[in-house]
Amino acid sequence: MPDKKASNLDHFQFRDLHPNVFMGTASDRYKGWIGQIYSARLYAEHINRRSKKIGAKTFVEEVLPVESVQEYFLHFRILELDFTFYRPLLDKYGKATQNLHVLRAYTQYLNKNDRLILKVPQAVFAKKIWQKGSYIENENYLNPEVFTRQFYEPALGVSAAWLDGLIFEQEYQRKQDRSSPKALAKELDNFFSSVPKDTRYHVEIRTDALLAEPVFNVLEKHGVGQILSHWTWLPQLSRQFAMSGQKFMNQGKKCIIRLLTPRGIRYEDAYAKAHPFSTLVDGMMDPQMVDETVDIMKSAIEDCVQINVIINNRAGGNSPIIAQKIARQFLAGQPN
């Protein structure tokens, strides 16, 4: 293991692992990362506290101000911002939403080599959305006009200089609600034929029965990446990769791995275990997740593909420590 790089990991420095490795996290600004990523002296008086209800429990979230992203990028090369998932950047009348203001605030603190991944709003890519206590059919599902006018164009207008990827996340679909792989493939083909061409598109399918050849063929046709996601109801990362023939389909020669929740554990249970996100939770992180992530990182490098590894606190309790474990294992297999 290269000594300098190994030493950097002790201080949570992940920017120099490899030219094609971009380590980052799903969201930022967690108070629990003070002492790892953030300096206590800078933010002690500027921590925002808010209540968040997850399932039947209420938690207090403590978050740092947006300007803390400057320190974040001293450690990581890429950041996934997921608040864009919850509403478009413009409303249906073309008026800026709060999300556009927050995104613009982030960009004020970015340097030229910092990179962002944004989640496309669920209003575009979810078949059903949660509204007033129940899931209802989404009238804007795969609507290219809503995607283009209310998200894509304003996103580029604000963040094009740093934008490295767009995540289209589709929710898990129960057997009685889901369409066939052929039907989904046709829907995706129509959608990606109608939206602006871009090499930064990546799709996350959360229903294993839909990870099938017709869908993969459409993604490959349009140069859209398959997101490999370590998530509650999905197969292991290696299995997902094998299902698509171990192809890197993104036309921009990039791949995204998202390490979200332990397999078999629901979001609310993973959140409760991981909160307040300051350390690893004993027995929560799956060691196989680390092994398979490193294997895919190596495969990407062999194919000259940029590999973006995005880590959520819920995957084991604390994203920086999970990143540390992945990076140590990755460097252990690299030549001096």
Q: What DSSP letter does each residue of 237-273 carry, written as one string? A: HHHHHHHTTS----TTSEEEEEE-S-TT--HHHHHHH
Which residues have C-beta within 8 Å of that of residue 256, sequence separation ≥ 6?
Answer: 117, 165, 167, 202, 225, 227, 228, 308, 310
Q: What is the mean pLDDT of residues 171-195?
A: 94
pLDDT at 177 over 90: no
Whole-number Å distance between alpha carbons of 23 and 311? 8
CA distances from 202 to 148, 216, 249, 305, 327 (A): 16, 12, 9, 14, 23
Q: In the structure, what pLDDT confidence band is assigned to residue 336 with cuts at 50, 70 and 90?
A: low
Q: What is the pLDDT of residues 220-261, one digit of tens each?
A: 999 999 999 999 999 999 999 999 999 999 999 999 999 999
Q: Does the pLDDT value for residue 2 go beyond 70?
A: no
Where do the domains of the chain lie? 3-332
What is d(CA 64, CA 77) in angstroms, rounded to the nearest whole number? 19
Question: Residue 7: pLDDT band by 50, 70, 90 thresholds?
Answer: confident
Q: What is the mean pLDDT of the chain?
A: 95
β 306-311/254-259 pair status: parallel
Q: What per-residue confidence (pLDDT) applies to 3?
A: 76
Neighbour count for residue 158 (Cβ, 10 Å): 20
Mean pLDDT of 311-333: 97
Q: What is the pLDDT of residue 1?
A: 47
Amino acid (one-letter) located at 181: P
First to last CA, the chain: 6
Q: How far is CA 250 from CA 132, 133, 183, 200, 208, in A?
A: 37, 37, 22, 8, 20
Decide: residue 272, CB within 10 A, 0-12 exposed, 13-18 middle, 19+ buried: middle
Q: Which fold has domain 3-332?
A: TIM Barrel (3.20.20)
Tokens 């829907």, located at residue? 187
Percent of the chain at pLDDT exceeding 90: 89
Q: What are 157-169's pLDDT values in tens digits?
A: 999 999 999 999 9
CA 225/CA 194 separation, integer angstroms? 17
pLDDT on residue 6: 82
Asked whether the predicted pLDDT for residue 56 surpasses 90, the reply is: no
**What is residue 335's predicted lDDT score, i.e. its pLDDT?**
67
Tens of pLDDT, residue by residue over 93-139, are 999 999 999 999 999 999 999 999 999 999 999 999 888 777 889 99
User: What are the angstrom distances between the C-alpha of 260 and each of 136, 150, 248?
Assistant: 25, 27, 20
For the whole model, what pTM was predicted?
Answer: 0.96
pLDDT beyond 80 at 152: yes
Q: Is the pLDDT of residue 76 over 60?
A: yes
Residue 176 has pLDDT above 50, yes or no: yes
CB proximity list for 87: less than 8 A, separation 6 or greater: 97, 98, 99, 121, 123
pLDDT tens profile 189-212: 999 999 999 999 999 999 999 999
Q: Distance between CA atoms of 313 and 271, rounded to whole angstroms? A: 8
CA distance 280 to 273: 10
Instruction: Tell me phi and psi for residue 195, to 5 degrees.
Output: -95, 165
